[in-house]
Chains A and B, each alone.
Chain A
Amino acid sequence: MDASSSAVESRHARRQHMRERMFAGATLAAAVIVLVLLGGVTIALLKGAWPALDRFKLSFLTRTVWNPVTNEFGALAAIYGTLLTSLIAMLVAVPISFGVAIFLTELSPVWLKRPVGVAIELLAAVPSIIFGIWGLFVLAPILQQSVQPWLIAHLGPLPWIGGLFRGPPFGIGILTAALVLAIMVLPFISSVMRDVFETVPDVLKESGYGLGATTWEVVWQVVVPYSRTGVVGGVMLGLGRALGETMAVTFVIGNAHRISSSLLAPGTTISASIANEFTEAVGDLYISSLIALGVLLFLITFSVIAAARFMLMRLERRALSSV
């Protein structure tokens, strides 16, 4: 090999080396952008919320007053509405999703499995605003005309739970928002649960059947214990969605900053307040209070989602190690 060709070769190698470093650097930079985004979101929100947090301190969390005229803001009604609507939504959606997942993994005939599974997955992709306008135009009138009068007449007079079902039937309100949320998270939770159930090794289920267990006993004593972490993780991901959901709720919640004992009364959630009021908010303190609501929502959903992801990650690791 003469000198010139080896010089060409080393130049080529240097260029390759350069390119490698540039490419590796670009991928690293892009990956770091993901970190920067989360950091940026946190800093930007805190900065925007500071005037309100500085003015109201902890009383922001404990007061229900929300008065743009006197510049008095408290988040309690919105926090209450957020937690309550999500709680009711999960109470409705989780058992149904569990049923759907069981049906899809253990019960359904093979020819039905794919179409139903695909339908559920596609429905999880429908944007939430569709659920919102359906709730406003279809569900709310039905609830107002038939369901809520019945609830008021039959459950209202009862002791203890009666208080939850009193007052006029508005149609829109906490209960309606919760039901729309439930329908919206249903396909999501169902498909996560189904995926988790499918990680259960067939050998385990077959040993259950081999011992003479019924399908339900295999589900309840083999499938569920094995996939418990994943199920809880999936439910919490759904909860994270419900807590932060904006459009499905905003249409039907009624946007009233107060805490009523009745589920039929209008209320508000954090995200609905922001969506309804932000563009019309006048005054720095008003806008800052809305951003402070956003900070609270971020904290609540962040902890729920982080816990869910942590659980799902643990399950994934176990699934890998058992293969």
Chain B
Amino acid sequence: MSRGLLRKLTNALALALSAVATVIGLTCLAAILWTLLRSGFAGISPALFTQMTPPPGSAGGLLNAIYGSVAMTVIGMAIGAPIGILAGTYLAEYGRDTRLAVVIRFVNDVLLSAPSIIVGLFVYEVIVVPAGHFSAIAGAFALAVIAIPVTVRTTEDMLRLVPQGMKDASTALGAYPFRTITSVIYPAARSGIVTGLLLAVARVSGETAPLLFTALNNQFWSTNLAAPIANLPVVIYQFAQSPYPQWQQLAWSGALLITLTILLLSVTARVLIAIFQPAKRAL
């Protein structure tokens, strides 16, 4: 009896602790989001999207930073996406289980979780030092280096979900592998690949550390890719640490903008996956 009771008590205690852990975890995270929403929305106004980052002690907006972030993300993805998709294709269709593919897969996984500040130092050494100055293009390159492993991983996973029967059917018709890949596999996996790209954009758009010493910052409007450019993460970083209330407010609003963008991208990606998966099962 006492042994059975002890077991039941242990069980109840353990499960209660697990529920408490979940509540604690969710509360912390909810607290962060709540603060973000409350402090961020206080600063949302038309000026935020129409004015430049202000000098200390005066009001302004984030227009140049938003532009810089978008521009660098677009360029970064334009470099990173093709490389990532092709490399993912190699791993899923050509390399498969060869030793080279296994090594590349492993290296890619390591890059996927490597600290992003390391990527910043790498791009600093490779682009900023030879060029002699910080630049938007260096920032975009740093973002590409971060986007590539994400894209490789998701592309490979998604291509592997395409049923073998479809690939075999194409091969049986005498198609070369490239024809099978471009005409059969890519269309079948399209929404999966797009999901991967969205996740890569989500990952890249919040990165701060690698931009600190590649793109740096710029208080003014700039479209010159060879010059330092303003961007949301670095503006948030600098403004949040400043003693000026207007700057701190802009930092919160910028943080809210980034977080909403990323959550929107992640939700879209999840919806796409949900559409993609049943199609796979039906086949």
Q: Are B115 and A271 in contact (CB under 8 A)?
A: yes
Q: Are B10 and A129 in contact (CB under 8 A)?
A: no
B109 within 8 A of A: yes
Q: Are B107 and A125 in contact (CB under 8 A)?
A: no
A176 within 8 A of B: no
Closest to A27 in B: B90
CA distance A237 to B110 in the complex (A): 10
A246 — which chain B residues lie within 8 A by C-beta? Answer: 115-117, 208-209
A67 within 8 A of B: no
- Kindly identify, within residues 7 to 28 of chain B, every residue whose CB is under 8 Å from any CB belonging to chain A: 7-8, 10-11, 14-15, 17-22, 24-26, 28
Q: Are A41 and B118 in contact (CB under 8 A)?
A: yes
A110 within 8 A of B: no
A301 within 8 A of B: yes
Q: Are B270 and A130 in contact (CB under 8 A)?
A: no
Closest to A312 in B: B109
A265 within 8 A of B: no
A226 within 8 A of B: no
Interface-central residue, A26, A31, A137, A298, by most chain B CB under 10 Å: A31
Q: Are A278 and B178 in contact (CB under 8 A)?
A: no
Report the number of A-B residue pairs with Cβ-Cβ less than 8 Å.
269
B87 within 8 A of A: yes
- Distance from B174 Cβ to chain A, minimum over Cβ atoms (Å): 9
Q: Which residue in B39, B113, B208 is a CB contact (below 8 Å) of A305?
A: B113
- Distance from B33 Cβ to chain A, minimum over Cβ atoms (Å): 8
CA distance A274 to B214 in the complex (A): 13
Asked, given contacts A16-B179, A214-B11, A247-B209, whether A34 binds B108 with beta carbons under 8 Å apart, the answer is yes
A245 — which chain B residues lie within 8 A by C-beta? Answer: 115
Q: Which residue in A29, A118, A132, A244 is a CB contact (below 8 Å) of B114?
A: A244
Main secondary structure of the interface of A (DSSP, over half): helix
Q: Are B216 and A127 in contact (CB under 8 A)?
A: no
Q: Are B10 and A125 in contact (CB under 8 A)?
A: no
Q: Are A127 and B206 in contact (CB under 8 A)?
A: yes
Which of B70-78, B120-128, B187-195 sits within the interface?
B120-128
Closest to A301 in B: B115
- Distance from B260 Cβ to chain A, minimum over Cβ atoms (Å): 11
Asked, given contacts A103-B22, A246-B209, whether A30 binds B94 with beta carbons under 8 Å apart, the answer is no
Q: Which residue in A31, A120, A220 is a CB contact (below 8 Å) of B91?
A: A31
Q: Are A137 and B208 in contact (CB under 8 A)?
A: no
Q: List 5 A-B contacts (CB under 8 A).
A: A126-B263, A127-B205, A127-B259, A129-B258, A130-B255
Chain A positions near chain B (C-beta within 8 angstroms): 16-17, 19-20, 22-24, 26-35, 37-38, 40-41, 44-45, 47-48, 95-100, 102-104, 107-108, 116, 118-123, 125-134, 136-138, 183, 186-187, 190, 214-217, 219-220, 237, 240-241, 243-247, 250-251, 271, 274-275, 278-279, 291, 294, 297-298, 301-302, 305-306, 308-309, 313
Known A-B contacts: A27-B94, A215-B15, A302-B110. Give 19 more (CB < 8 A). A41-B114, A99-B25, A103-B19, A120-B26, A122-B267, A128-B206, A129-B208, A130-B206, A130-B259, A186-B28, A216-B11, A216-B14, A219-B14, A271-B209, A278-B213, A291-B121, A297-B115, A297-B117, A309-B113
